[in-house]
Amino acid sequence: MFIPDKTKKTVRIVVQFRPGSILRSDGAPLPKIRDGTFADLVIPASGLADDEERQKLEAESVKELLPSGARILIGLSRGVMREKPKGFVEPEELKTGYGYLFAEAILRESLMLRLRGDKEPLLENCRCFIPVLEAEASSLNHAFTLLSTKFETERISHTGNVFARVYCSCEKREVCHPLNELRGHIEHLLPT
């Protein structure tokens, strides 16, 4: 399945459905849109005429992404560190092409992915232990923030996309992969 790049510039067009057509909110026709363009259609759930279809789109489920005890690696940017901290893993050791330095964390419970119809999946909170800090975090976002605050001292904001910054190593693969790839693999295996 093709997923559009959500980081590209977008425009918002408010539309209204009328029998047999979709118009702009002021009644004007939609602008010409290139063939093959993907877009998100966001409507109130109550606007769906078919209750069965609405229930399917509103359905949520939770799938295990990684088991309790799994070792994960959290990538921090070298450019905002004053020096390389002890206990961090170099990307060459992981056979990744990214320029992060990695801190290990160990999951204290299973990392679960909440699937929400056609919406972006979300990670559930998952306690993890960060050996380099000798601290426990309540979620992967919390773990990233703790590490960033301590080591990325030249950074203004200490948040990040954990789907891109957290890596895991599958047993049969030598290369570590970001959670985003694992998330995509889980979504791909789900029945449609």
DSSP code of residue 172: T
Q: 49-53, 136-140, 183-187 — which one is most confidently predicted on average?
A: 136-140
Phi, psi of 63 (to 5 degrees): -125, 145
Distance of CA 171 to the CA centre of its chain: 22
pLDDT beyond 60 at 30? yes
pTM of the entire structure? 0.74
Span 149-191, pLDDT tens digits:
999 988 888 988 999 899 986 554 456 788 888 877 665 444 4
Please work out, in degrees rounded to the nearest 5, the angle formed at the alpha carbon of residue 86 by the alpha carbons of 67 and 171. Answer: 25
pLDDT category of residue 105 using cuts at 50, 70 and 90: very high
DSSP, collapsed to helix, strand or coil, labels residue 97 as: coil
Phi, psi of 3 (to 5 degrees): -120, 120
Looking at residue 54, its pLDDT comes to 86
Span 86-98, pLDDT tens digits:
888 877 766 665 7
Q: Which amino acid is at 132?
A: V
